[in-house]
Structure 1
Amino acid sequence: MTATDYDNFAKAYAAENESGLFNAYYARPAVLRLAGDVSGRRILDAGCGSGPLSVALRDEGAVVAGFDASAAMLDLARERLGDDADVQVADLRAPLPYADAEFDDVVASLVLHYLEDWTGPLAELRRVVKPGGRLIVAVNHPSAYAIVYPEADYFAVTQYSEDYVMDGQTVWLTFWHRPLHAMTDAFAAAGFRIVTVSEPPPAPDTPAELLPAELPAGQSFMCFLFFVLEAA
């Protein structure tokens, strides 16, 4: 995935984020639940996209900054947050435009799985968060890859692409699968300690029509994997 890819379908992706199962009723409420009380905390929304998570964190009392590689996504974020919003174009694969230990917490929701190499990005996220601060991560669940692609090598870091219909538009997203041990090894190497691993169910207020018919109410399903990490 490149910034230009997201520029091409920014509005469709943002519309899907507003009401779709995976973002509105799964990833976003799960991250907010794991973040807990954020009142007064300075939080960096890494890969903030069009800003729905930034808005939710701000509504909970956090002081939020955000960045994304897509300028079109950030235009939508400014529409949500206001023209004075602290959002800017930046890429996790390059040095970030923030000071050392500038943030109490960082959230990286559904962003790391677009990257082949986590070494530099995690080092930068560790640099900008205070010692004892948190990195809250949501990524594609590695076991879901093994289920969908049973012939693939689960233990290999592998690029793959999938098509999704978003607001009536078909878009292709390209991800990097990595096995669980590769994720946890990368976190440790960057100076993070795993505090929580979560596989939650959808939010209680998820409309029934969005859920698979065979999924009982309140039942978890294989989709994303969530981590709370502490900066050592």
Structure 2
Amino acid sequence: MTDYDDFAVAYARSNESNLFNAHYARPEVVRLLGDLRGRRVLDVGCGSGTLTESLVEQGAVVTGSDRSAAMVELARERLGDRAELDVVDLSSPLPYADASFDDAVACLVLHYVQDWSAPLAELRRVLRPGGRVVVVVNHPTAHAVVYPDADYFATREYSEDYEFDGRTVWLTFWHRPLHAMSDAFTEAGFRIGTISEPPPAPGTPVELLPPGLEPGRSFICFLFMVLEAV
């Protein structure tokens, strides 16, 4: 799994205003969750706390966790005592009691994990019955477009270079086809309530959009799913 400790500050700076986080993933997660006033929310893979802060501002009681100690420290600087923040590896048992949360968010974290069985089982355990998880992952169709010679139906590891605040880093992901995602959710005790492939948020600066993409139009980037605990 990619070690964000090595470039936490550069990633956090980019995350504040870039297309994919600030104008795409964060606003769509908030939209999908709806009214959060008084709801207990777990934000796994919280990073530097930008989404965590958005959830707090919506009235949620938020616990954020991340395997990167450097990221959690940045989140603590941002949020102070407005949220509980813990260093937790999603591949390990979560340090929370059964049915502790009404909702959870796994935004841009599961695609770093090869085996989803234990993480999803833990998310189901800490959610109350009827609770929701918003999952955001790299869109599997994008992988098929970028890597046309790869086997779409195979779960496979791949790495790509990205630039964050002027620094180039390599991120390692796991591609899995859509049916494999669905199977993993079902086996963990979830059903898919919503699938979203949204456009960037209204008001996104035109200069941030991919070449040729008109404002208000969707593009293949991330896949957003709302899972319901059954």
Q: Which runs of 5+ in 1 are unaligned?
A: none
User: Match of 2:225?
Assistant: 227
Structure 1 position 163, deviation (Å) = 0.3
Match for 1:148: what amino acid?
A: V
Q: 2:181 matched to 1:183? A: yes
Q: What are the superposed Cα offsets for residues 34-77 of structure 1, whole Å, 9 maximum, x if unpaired?
A: 00000100000011000001100000100000110000000100
TM-score, length basis structure 1:
0.98
After TM superposition, the structure 1 = structure 2 runs for residues 1-232 of structure 1, keeping only pairs within 5 Å, are 1-2=1-2, 5-83=3-81, 85-232=83-230
Q: Work out the CA distance in 2 between the residues paired with 1:125 and 1:215.
A: 36
Matched residues in 1 for 2:136 and 2:190: separation? 15
SS of 1:9's equivalent in the other structure is: helix
What are structure 2's unaligned runs of at least 5 residues?
none
Give structure 1 regions of 4+ aligned residues with deviation exceeding 6 angstroms.
Answer: none
Indicate if the aligned counterparts of 2:61 and 2:83 stay in contact, CA closer than 8 A.
no
CA distance in 2, matches of 1:185, 1:222: 22
**In structure 2, C-alpha distance between the alignment counterparts of 1:42 and 1:93, rounded to whole Å:** 22
In structure 2, give the amino acid aligned to 1:36: G
Structure 1 window deviating more from structure 2 (165-174 vs 82-91): it is: 82-91
Structure-1 separation of matches of 2:215 and 2:44: 31
Which AA in structure 2 matches 1:183?
A: M
**Structure 2 length normalisation: TM-score?**
0.98
Deviation at 1:84, TM superposition (A): 6.5
CA contact (8 A) 2:158 2:174 kept: yes
1:92-143 residue CA offsets vs partner (Å, 9 max, x unmatched): 1110100000000000000000000000000000000000000111000000
Residue 201 of structure 2 aligns to a residue in which SS? coil
Partner Cα separation in structure 2 for residue 216 and residue 208 of structure 1: 8
Distance of aligned partners of 1:46 and 1:202 in 2 relative to their CA distance in 1, 3 Å threshold: same
Q: One-letter code of the match for 2:150?
A: A
Rounded Cα–Cα distance in structure 1 between residues aligned with 2:128 and 2:83? 22
Q: Within 1, Cα distance between the matches of 2:83 and 2:97? A: 18
Q: CA deviation at 1:212?
A: 1.8
How far off its partner does 1:83 sit? 5.0
Aligned residues: 230
Contact 2:129–2:229 (CA<8 Å) still a contact in 1?
Answer: yes
Pairwise CA distance, 1:16: 1.1
- Provide the aligned C-alpha RMSD in A: 0.8
